[in-house]
Structure formats: C-alpha cells, structure tokens
Amino acid sequence: MIYFDNSATTAVNPMVLRTYTDVATKIMGNPSSLHGLGTTATRLLEASRRQIAELLGVDSQEIFFTSGGTEGDNWILKGVAFEKRPYGNHIIVSNVEHPAVKNTAEWLKTQGFEVDFAPVDGDGFVIVSELEKLIRDETILISIMAVNNEVGTIQPIGEISDLLADKPTISFHVDAVQAIGKIPLEAWLTERVDFAVLSAHKFHGPRGVGIVVAKKGKRLTPLLHGGGQEHNWRSTTENLAGIAATSKALRLALDDDDFKRQKVRAMKQVILEELEKHRKVHVFSKVENFAPNILTFGIRGVRGEVVVHAFEQHEIYISTTSACSSKKNAAAGTLVAMNVPSKLARSAVRISLDSTNNMAEVEQFLTVFRQIYQELEKVSG
C-alpha cells in the first residue's frame, strides 16, 4: 500500500500511540478531582501544555485543548464575534478557507454579523491589497489559513501581519492545521497573530485532539459551558491520553523538520517533473510559496474521482482535494475561487506527501500513473 493522502489524516506514530496507551491505562484520574489520582492527572495535563507551548514559542497559559481543527475554528470565529460584538460586527475571511471557517462565517451572517470574503489570485494567494480595501471601522476579526488544504498555497501571513500592525482592535486568526512540519513556525505564528488552530491527526497524533493558541489579553466567548475546565474557557473533561500523545506528536513533528521538508519537497519535484511531460495533465500546485507536500493536478476530460479509484485499484491512495468535501462530487472551492473553469476543476486530484513516504513509493506511483494515463487518454480522446 502507498498512502499519499496525508493532508486528510496521518498515521499515528507508534511512539505517540504508546504514550496514549500508557496514559490511558495507567493514569485513570480526572484532572478536576481533588484526590491524589486527580493531582497526578493534572500534573501530566499541565506538563503536556507546557511542552506544547515551549515547542510553539508561546506561554503555557496561551494553550487550550479542543477536539480538533473544526471545533477550534468554530470557537475562535464565534467566540471573537460574540465577545467583540459591542465594538463591531464585521468579519473578513478569505474565499479559500476550510469549511470549518467558511461555513462558520456564513452562519454568523444569520446572527447579524457582516462578512466579506477576501479574493485570491489565479494561484490561490490572498490578494493583500484587496483584503486591505475590505477593512472598515467595524471590522473585528480577520481569518486567513496558513496553508491551503486543496492546492497548498502558503498564504502571506507575514504581509497580512504587517498590514494589521497598526490595527490592534482587529483580531487575527490563522487556521494552521496544514502548517505544522510543512512550513516554519515563524511563517504563520507571527507576533501579530492573536489566535491559531492546530489538529493532532495532521501530524501523526491521535484524532479528536486540537490545540488553540490564544494570545494573552485576548478574549473568547466559550462555546461549551459546564465544569469550568481550561480556565473556564472550554468546559469538558480533558482527553488526557490524547493530549499527552499530542504533545509527543508535536515534538516529533518539529524534530528535524527542515530536513523532513527538504525530503518531501524532493519527492514532490520528481512527481511534478513527470506530470508536466503529459499533455493532458494540468498542474494546479506550484513550487514557489507552495507547501512542499501538496501537489494537485488533473487529467483534462477525466473526473477526479475516476482517477482516485483507478489508483486505488493498485492500492495507492490519493484524494479529490479536500477530504471534508471529497464525497460531495463538487469542484474544489479553492479552484473555483481561483477562477478555474468548472470542468477542469472537477478533474482535480490531490497528492499529499509526508516524510514517512520515500522515493521508492514515488517511483511506483509514477509507474502506475503512466499506465492509468495511457488508459484514460484513450477513453477521453
């Protein structure tokens, strides 16, 4: 089996799984309990929080645990919107955001908030000058993803941070779910970023655990009310085993991350060079300012799901762009925003690599690709 769908989810690292199992079986206390077992659980919870904070270069009081990226994005958009409603009701998100952001923004419109969608250029990059034009006195929040999950564009977070440097009343949120290990921390967690979201299963951690970074002095209206966990910001019993495993996964993901990026970039380059030799292939992902792991392309005249299933017959697993929308048979939202013609957009498939992949797998993939391409070329004409 060859797994090239790592942007959808990654395999849990065996060392991470071992940590999860050890904690789940040996530390049974609830961190909210007053007895010794609860104290032991609390110590591990806070040790995990400190390690994650140290790895990200923030204060441990700025780390909050959630159930994943979707909850984190929902919490920040809704939490900021309702917290700052007395000061304004205008929100800006890019028109290539993950549904967790885009659909949340649409819902906020039903609650009386005004939302603008910042446009992107033909390669999928937010046009900062157009974003600037959308800012008004009532703007309270801007949300831009760090790395696009469908084509891999690395958004200009630094440039947007500079734009907002003299606008302290606007909260800046970055969906960094696809960023860990793929681009350097400083490329997305700038000093100006107020809120950021991570998801453990994107970097070989367990599913069902997310991280919210909320800088000191920033406020969020809670989504969940109850027992007052997470400094009374997110009430629910903490997923202690998952959190400890996430801490381990993040450390491993950031260990030698530059070397891992170079390895993945080299594999992407080999695949890209082969794809570009075929006249009916259209490549949507480039190299410069694109994530090293994501390569999205299409075979003209062939729907993406046909290509996905053709590779699956050879036990090679790729995706039709975003896993969250792949079963809806709709053109990728990012490609639509890039003004890619609908028919071409529906041909798109995404390869998402990982440092656990290797060149032998790449060569096998390309061998199968040539075979599939020849068969589909005959059918599509």
Instruction: List the catalytic residues.
Output: 324
Note whether 372 and 307 are within 8 A (CB).
yes
Residue 222, classed as helix, strand or coil, is: coil
Residue at 249: amino acid letter: A
3-state secondary structure 96-156: CCCHHHHHHHHHHHHCCCEEEEECECCCCCECHHHHHHHCCCCEEEEEEECECCCCCEECC
How many Å apart are CA 74 and CA 101, to the nearest integer? 7
Tokens of 243: 């959190």
Both tokens of 180, joined, read: 């860990």
- Which helix or strand (DSSP H or E) is residue 351 part of? strand 348-352
The C-alpha atoms of residue 176 and residue 173 are separated, in whole angstroms, by: 9
The helix (run of H) or strand (run of E) holding residue 71 is helix 69-83
- Coil, strand or helix: which one is 304? helix
- State the amino acid at position 363 in one-letter form: E
Q: How far apart are CA 59 and CA 167, in angstroms?
A: 23
Cα end-to-end span (Å), the chain: 30
Could you give the C-alpha distances from 48 to 37, 192, 279, 296, 339, in angstroms and in order?
17, 25, 51, 36, 44
The C-alpha atoms of residue 372 and residue 381 are separated, in whole angstroms, by 14
- Find residue 93's DSSP bridge partners: 117, 143
